[in-house]
Structure 1
């Protein structure tokens, strides 16, 4: 029923069969976007849940009720997941959609309709740490082994969802073709209010001061961690084991410094320079 041991291969990517089938992935790759759609794009463990909450609260004008009463995967459904076509029929516009797929899979459909795209990225060292702990608790991923082993696979792109470097380069490459809002997890941490202001302007969804205050309150890590609609507690323990790790673990910047050895830092920075060049230089730190 859960397909926890199934891996789907699609467009050169390995993906958890618990969440994806060939039918759902083909549906996603040929999906007919509308110009009014809003597509959130992330590599796993880059702040996706946080941005889903922010988008929900922007469009609700700070009203927390949708965030408190509707699971986030229903409010911001995943384009490639098995349930998407059903959820989509129940969604009224503007449609808030989410994906982990690379640009090369969605490029043709996106260029036709040109919906608004939000690309959220995060320091890949922190991504690797967060992804490792998530793979430990989510039973639909292969056993990640030790952190040392997982990091080598992460750098090689030999993890589910593929290479962070390829994913990020692909989405950065489409800035001239699509209406894309680029933002980092670190920017959200540094200035949530300013980030939300820029987002609301991009979305043509202006906010009043009281609405902004509500968004900041309900999109704090503490608030989200206590919200059953977003904190992972709705998922059965047979699928995600909270004894191994928490779905919302720390929500901080720079946790990689507690995991990386000096040799791993050197190895990671060398790989980053090879793959990204001068792209996102802030992530070299």
Structure 2
């Protein structure tokens, strides 16, 4: 970062209905809660760093039949509205952006299910949830905190893992987040995806998304979308790699927004002792959930 660039003050976390949120997001949550979607809107929900950008790009590609030019018409943050985003890090808040977009709109959120505006359920909007295993999520979230200079100070790895386990990071407990959408998936007609499945068999998962959205694309178009949305291609694509964000906010010389995208990278970060303690805590919080996460492929 050059000397004449403004240093972005890091966000503070404040509790809202028992969930910690960045202060600039928390202040507008009442307006977010009152948001009324169009029935054709598509909601993509996820805990941070679990694959929401990837899923949003796949959805946008499907809506445009895998047309490269259509999907490079603007950065992913313009094509997809981040529902609860404030105008602190962007030129427009998510709500402002949505007012200017014509349905069907692709809308992203990190809010836990109890904070999702009820309008999404009342209008029976298509909702896709993507979940990533806890260990890889905390690793990715840790690196994101370092490169996102507007996020709360991450502190050392050991304390960051502790905060993750105890719901002391933005958007609360990962455990409650993934369980909340899992338990409501049938009642709310939510398509529940796993990051690991998307890595293991991307074509199968793209086809699942297509069918859920009541779309029909040719085999060639599907194959094209699978290729365009590989981690390598998205990392190189200036419309998806967040290189359009100013470095005083996302300093990608510290860590790339799209860093590795691997399953099992947690093994390079957890000590055996940390892994054992994390696993013990995980079993307590997730023992009744029966959510089939994979921590390696």
Q: Identify which of 13, 16, 19 aligns with 1:13.
A: 19
Q: Are 1:238 and 2:244 matched, yes or no?
A: no
Post-superposition offset of 1:84: 1.6
Q: Are 1:165 and 2:175 matched, yes or no?
A: yes
Counterpart in 2 of 1:38? 42
Counterpart in 1 of 2:76? 72
Report the TM-score, using the length of structure 2 for normalisation.
0.89
Counterpart in 2 of 1:147? 157
Structural mapping, 1:23-102, within 5 Å? 23=28, 25-82=29-86, 83-102=93-112
CA contact (8 A) 1:10 1:22 kept: no
CA contact (8 A) 2:196 2:294 kept: no
Q: Which runs of 5+ in 1 are unaligned?
A: none
SS at match of 1:77: strand
* CA–CA separation in structure 2 for the residues paired with 1:282 and 1:242: 29
* CA–CA separation in structure 2 for the residues paired with 1:66 and 1:10: 38
Q: Identify which of 165, 183, 191 aligns with 2:201.
A: 191
CA RMSD of aligned residues (A): 1.8
Deviation digits for residues 7-29 of structure 1 (CA, Å, limit 9, x no counterpart):
454333332345x2522x22221
Counterpart in 1 of 2:258? 248
Report the TM-score, using the length of structure 1 for normalisation.
0.93
Label 1:103 to 1:21 Cα distance change in 2 as closer, same or farther (>3 A): closer
Deviation digits for residues 61-98 of structure 1 (CA, Å, limit 9, x no counterpart):
01022322211112111111121222112222222111
Counterpart in 2 of 1:279? 290
Label 1:17 to 1:230 Cα distance change in 2 as closer, same or farther (>3 A): farther
Q: Which runs of 5+ in 2 are unaligned?
A: 1-5, 87-92
Deviation digits for residues 114-161 of structure 1 (CA, Å, limit 9, x no counterpart):
211101000110000000000011111222121111101110111111
* CA–CA separation in structure 1 for the residues paired with 2:147 and 2:188: 36
Q: Identify which of 200, 203, 207 aligns with 2:210.
A: 200
* CA–CA separation in structure 2 for the residues paired with 1:8 and 1:229: 32
